[in-house]
Amino acid sequence: MKTIFVVRLFLTLLFTTVALSAQDQGVSSPAPSNGVAASAVASVSPAPVVAASTNPVSSPCPQGMVCPHDEKMVLPSDIHPTLKSYCSVPVDGPYIAMSFDDGPSATLTPRLLDLLKQRGIKVTFFVIGQNVEHAPEIVARAAAEGHEIGNHTWDHPVLTKLSDARVQEEINKTSEAIFSATGKKPVLLRPPYGAMNPRVHRIVDQDGMKVILWSVDPNDWKRPGSAVVERRILAGAKPGAIILSHDIHPGTIEAMPATLDALLAKGYKFVTVSELIAMESQHSKATTTTPASSTAPTTKK
Ligand SMILES: [Zn+2]
């Protein structure tokens, strides 16, 4: 009897510990896209994959730490002054770039494309290669309608934890899938979770691509509800901003009509990320030679 009690007590403690541990991972996970990628895949196909269980890295553009004053980020500048990533771009007009990660979603991305088309808005999609493979026609439509398609890796790993060869494979496979869907090779890469370091950055640079982070993160992957997503995006928007969101969550898509209309009403003009970078003001170029940060985003919260 006593033995049974002890065993039950042990099992209770064990389950409690496991439950708390699981809760911790769910609640405190700092990764902006963690968990998102898995549903991205689920929404497109039953394909396996995606590093949803990997629990890495913090959001790369925390409040004023990595991209203070909305300047172009240089990382880690003390050692590698030529490695540049973009959280936002100093521009001389009311230009803004919306970006949607982790798709395409078979159901939600077409809805978003309809909303964008109705408003004449161009955005940037950072797509996951294996999702492109399952829904190339959606990516083709997005490109045909003037949106930019960026590379978000094949299966959403933490690139900094992979070998050089694996990093290259993640990038190449995805770029090839995008090329076969759209006829164009992507020139932008958004690293999953914002995880980046000089080694991976150099590989991306050698591939002739730019590393794109963000300056506004509504944390829509936590599914806070469309009103909250809208409020956060409107609160963070400013000229030159790169806004992160995910076209694989219904709440994000539901937030878009009001969000986009409010941004239009404020006078913002929507451009793709590459167009935004091309608009970088000459004045800012001359004055932002001082590095914004000397630390890679992956080491910051
Ligand atoms: Zn992602």
pLDDT at residue number 285: 54
Ligand 1 center–CA 12 separation, angstroms: 36
Residue 183's CB: how many other CB atoms inside 10 A?
10
Ligand 1 center–CA 37 separation, angstroms: 6
The three state secondary structure string of 218-285 is CCHHHCCCHHHHHHHHHHHCCCCEEEEEECCCHHHHHHHHHHHHHHHHCCCEECCHHHHHHCCCHHHH
**What's the pLDDT tens digit per position in 138-165?**
999 999 999 999 999 999 999 999 999 9
- Residues lining ligand 1 (ion), CB within 5 A? 33, 101-102, 192
- 100, 247 contact by CB (below 8 A): yes
Ligand 1 center–CA 36 separation, angstroms: 7
- What is the distance between the alpha carbons of residues 300 and 43, in angstroms, rounded to a whole number? 31
- What is the distance between the alpha carbons of residues 181 and 132, in angstroms, rounded to a whole number? 8
pLDDT at residue number 31: 38
For each of the domains in the chain, give its residue range(s) and CATH number, in order of start: 31-288 (3.20.20.370)
What would the two tokens of residue 7 be?
């065993």
Peptide bond before residue 239 is cis, with ω within 30 degrees of 0: no
Q: What percent of the chain is modeled with pLDDT above 90?
A: 63
pLDDT at residue number 175: 98
Ligand 1 center–CA 102 separation, angstroms: 5
pLDDT at residue number 282: 67
- 30, 57 contact by CB (below 8 A): yes
User: What's the DSSP call for residue 72?
Assistant: P
User: If we measure between CA atoms, which residue out of 229, 262, 3 comes closest to residue 100?
Assistant: 229
Ligand 1 center–CA 190 separation, angstroms: 8
- 66, 297 contact by CB (below 8 A): yes
pLDDT at residue number 70: 33
- What is the distance between the alpha carbons of residues 245 and 97, in angstroms, rounded to a whole number? 11
Q: Which residues of the chain have pLDDT under 70?
A: 1-81, 282-301
pLDDT at residue number 284: 58
Greatest alpha-carbon pair distance for the chain in Å reads 80
pLDDT at residue number 27: 30
pLDDT at residue number 8: 55
Residue 301's CB: how many other CB atoms inside 10 A?
9
**What's the pLDDT tens digit per position in 176-204?**
999 999 999 999 999 999 999 999 999 99
Helix (H) or strand (E) holding 174: helix 164-182
- What is the distance between the alpha carbons of residues 177 and 83, in angstroms, rounded to a whole number? 26
pLDDT at residue number 81: 59
Ligand 1 center–CA 33 separation, angstroms: 4
Using CB atoms within 10 A of its CB, is residue 82 exposed (0-12), middle (13-18) or buried (19+)?
exposed
What would the two tokens of residue 147 be?
């949106």
Ligand 1 center–CA 233 separation, angstroms: 18
pLDDT at residue number 121: 98
Residue numbers annotated as active site: 101, 246
- Report the phi/psi class of residue 77: left, alpha or beta, with left for phi > 0 and alpha for psi in -120 to 50: alpha
